[in-house]
A and B are shown apart, each in its own frame.
Chain A
Amino acid sequence: MTGTTTARMTYAQALNDALRLEMLADDRVVVLGEDVGRYGGVFSVTRGLMDEFGADRVLDTPISENGIVGAAMGMAMSGLRPVVEIMYTDFLCLALDSIANGVAAFPFAYNGQVTMPVVVRTQGGAGINAGPQHSKSLEAWTAHLPGLHTVLPSNPADAKGLLTAALRSDEPVILVEHKLLYSTEGEVPSGEHLVPLGTAQVVRPGTDATVLALSRMVPEALVAAARLAEQGLDCEVVDVRSLRPLDVATLAASARRTGRVVVAAEAWVRYGPSAEIAAAVTESAFDDLRAPVVRLGSLGVPYPASPALEQAVLPDAAAIQQAVEQLVKRTP
């Protein structure tokens, strides 16, 4: 399913590549959202699509988040395959009615009489001093809902592969992009490239400890693992990639191999995605764990705008490194 050639592109370009290829392949795919048309998206993900596919395939919408997702829900029920851009995850709050009461519920409630091939692309996370209303990681909110997939690509290839899989799925998918990843570069398979929804990936094998990382914490975990290797600690890094379904088998297998697990997610720790991941791994691999699973995430405060304050809130490679070191120290 994946071509043999690759091209170097950014995460944003990889997402654009996925949208473009699917729009070429299937004229039912329509893109809608604020700024997505003439402007090309505030993060440039939809750049050029309106020129290529026209204003009936790429819709500049009013600032109406619930209306946009609600309209996408109706489009999907009428046979189209809408892709919505919600500019910041924070604004997804305005559309949670349509998502929770409609998108996630109708295929079940109507007993399969309608399908809901809706993709909601949104952008979350902190790191650009955007403050309390433009920085949150709310993926736990949508991952909590049966009836929805929630996936978080951490690199350009996965961004293309997961978005393509989402666009092909007849089920609704929330794709949470990260604002600090849009400009990161990587090798991306050319042509058709799919990453199955619901699959985690071991991105760095290791034997001494496991870091289960999500979104931007994956590159941070890889930096931490490289530093730990200098100390002689061999750290495995697993990209969780999909919050629902959660690939418990892959996560637990790694936990069993190393016996030491740190979960690194940017969201607030309490009641967040790391809680679910830690619980699921504990349930599945308890006998092989040498200590309780350690959770890392943001400090429990609304995100501050000041660069000095924001950095104090966020987990990073140093925090991951320290957590692994302490875990190893406790469990010689």
Chain B
Amino acid sequence: MTQAMRNHGSYPPTSTAIDLLELYRRMRVLRRMDEVLAELVADKLVTGPMHLGIGQEATGIGATAALRPGDLVTATHRPHAQYVGLGLSLGRTFAEMMGRADGQCGGRAGHMLIADQERGLLGPSGIVGHSLLLAVGHGFAQRRAGQGAVTLCVTGDGAVNSGAFNEALNMMALWQLPVVVLVENNGYGLSVRLDRHSRETELYKRAAGYGVPGVLVDGNDVEAVRDVVSAAAERARAAQGPTLVEALTFRNTGFSSSDRGGYQDPGEGAEFTDPLELAARRLVAGGTTAARLAEVDQRAAQEVEEAVVFAKASPWPDPAELFEYAAKWDQGALL
């Protein structure tokens, strides 16, 4: 492993091992996590803004399933699918969201900024567009290292209108970086529907303006997302440069925990395809029994419950570390 690759190491199983039932299990854990988080927010055990991804499970779970050990991932302010898809410790993830000492980042980061170096998550950002900028840097480091690693850059439909999108896509294309840009098109940027914040609503078409392939995929079909991202990742590994993937999905929840609603037309989302139901139907059609699915659901709920118990038992972090940090930046004597 070169020095350029030192920031990431071991990784969960590779995509070949991930079948639909495992994808379904991950989506179920993620759904349960977000359902429980809504309760924890209501109970004030999780404070601060909370961005749930109910309805969008297939995009993040499908995309992360396409990765290999050594790949890197960036994410947005709605990053829970990456946490579950990359196999972060659920207990430590909940602890971070509660601001506890056992959190992935010691309670400094909150729910939006959980990095996990060991699993390649470097990292999410609460600033719209940041994931694209980070991916340029990651992709450049990977291209230089020349070991076939790729960066999965998750961004949203809101970010395509940021300056960062243009700056990053141009550099990724110019330098033929091994990046897969996954635009999670959930239909809304904050409270503003896609057709009210973007004249051209077929976002994958933007790829042509940068000289890279653009692919549209059903973002509620977890297998389709996995396969499309796998193909784009293979392209990147073969030094053929970046791909822009638009995954069409639906944000079946508010923008954040402070969302007052009232901006959606009546009946909007009525045709929403629940990615878990779609996967369940397909599994049953393929011979998986209802009992088997119920067992997966039950285990997912139990796993989440145990994680919450762990997090609740975790102590508050010691503010002393903050005084040390401040001293480092304010007192030259400590340098």
Contact A108–B171 (Cβ < 8 Å): no
Q: Which of A78, A80, A247 has the most CB of B within 10 A?
A: A78
Among A69, A71, A75, the one with the most B-chain Cβ atoms within 10 Å of its Cβ is: A71
Once bound together, how far apart are the Cα atoms of A74 and B2, in whole Å?
Answer: 17
Are A73 and B134 closer than 8 Å at their CB atoms?
Answer: yes
* Complex CA distance for A201 and B50, rounded to whole angstroms: 48
Given A78-B138, A111-B105, are A28 and B170 also a contact pair (CB < 8 Å)? no
Q: Is B16 an interface residue (CB 8 A)?
A: no
B108 to A74, Cβ gap below 8 A?
A: no
CB neighbours of A198 from chain B (8 A): 332, 335
A97 beta carbon closer than 8 Å to chain B: yes
Query: Is there contact, CB below 8 Å, between A66 and B167?
Result: yes
Is A223's beta carbon under 8 Å from chain B? no
Q: How many residues on chain B are close to A (CB under 8 Å)?
A: 54
A-B contact count (CB 8 A): 165
State which size class the interface on A falls in. 35 or more
Identify the stretch in A98-106, A127-135, A287-295 within 8 Å (CB) of chain B at 4 or more residues: A98-106
Interface pair A70/B108, CB less than 8 Å apart = no
- Nearest-CB residue, chain A, relative to B105: A111
* Contact assessment for B137 and A245 in the assembled complex, using a CB-CB cutoff below 8 Å: no
State the CA gap A82–B137 with chains docked (Å): 9
B333, A249: Cβ atoms closer than 8 Å: yes
A79 within 8 A of B: yes
Check: A183 CB closer than 8 A to any chain B CB.
Answer: no
In the complex, what distance in Å separates the CA atom of A74 from the CA atom of B175? 15
A165-205 to B contact mask, C-beta < 8 Å, 1/0: 00000000000000000000000000000001111100000
Contact A62 B167 (CB under 8 A): yes
Contact A70 B122 (CB under 8 A): no
CA distance A196 to B332 in the complex (A): 10
Max count, chain B CB within 10 A of own CB: residue among A77, A102, A242, A249 = A77
**A248 within 8 A of partner (CB):** yes
The answer to whether A80 touches B144 (Cβ under 8 A) is yes
Closest to A280 in B: B330
How far is the CB of A60 from the nearest CB of chain B, in Å?
A: 10
**Pairwise interchain contact B117-A102, C-beta atoms closer than 8 A:** no
Which candidate, B3-11, B238-246, B248-256, B296-304, is the interface stretch facing chain A?
B3-11
What's the Cα separation between A245 and B333 when bound, in Å?
Answer: 9
Q: How far is the CA of A146 from the CA of B328 in the complex (A)?
A: 9
Contact at B134–A74, with CB atoms within 8 Å?
yes
Interface residues of B in 122-154 (CB under 8 A from A): 122-123, 125-127, 130, 132-142, 144
The verdict on A79 contacting B3 (CB below 8 Å), with A113-B115, A146-B326, A199-B332 known, is yes
Q: A73-B134, A113-B116 are in contact. Are A101 and B127 (CB under 8 A)?
A: yes
Write 29 A-B pairs (CB below 8 A) sorted by A numbering.
A28-B4, A30-B140, A67-B133, A70-B164, A73-B134, A74-B136, A74-B137, A78-B72, A98-B130, A98-B133, A101-B127, A102-B127, A106-B113, A106-B115, A109-B115, A111-B105, A111-B108, A111-B109, A114-B7, A114-B115, A146-B330, A147-B329, A198-B335, A245-B328, A245-B330, A245-B332, A245-B334, A246-B330, A248-B331
Can you add 9 more A-B contacts, CB < 8 Å, to A59-B175, A64-B170, A80-B4? Answer: A67-B136, A70-B130, A74-B134, A74-B137, A78-B72, A110-B109, A114-B123, A196-B335, A200-B332
Write the residues of chain B forming the contact surface with A, with a CB cutoff of 8 angstroms: 2-7, 72, 74, 104-106, 108-109, 113, 115-117, 122-123, 125-127, 130, 132-142, 144, 163-164, 166-168, 170-171, 174-175, 325-326, 328-335
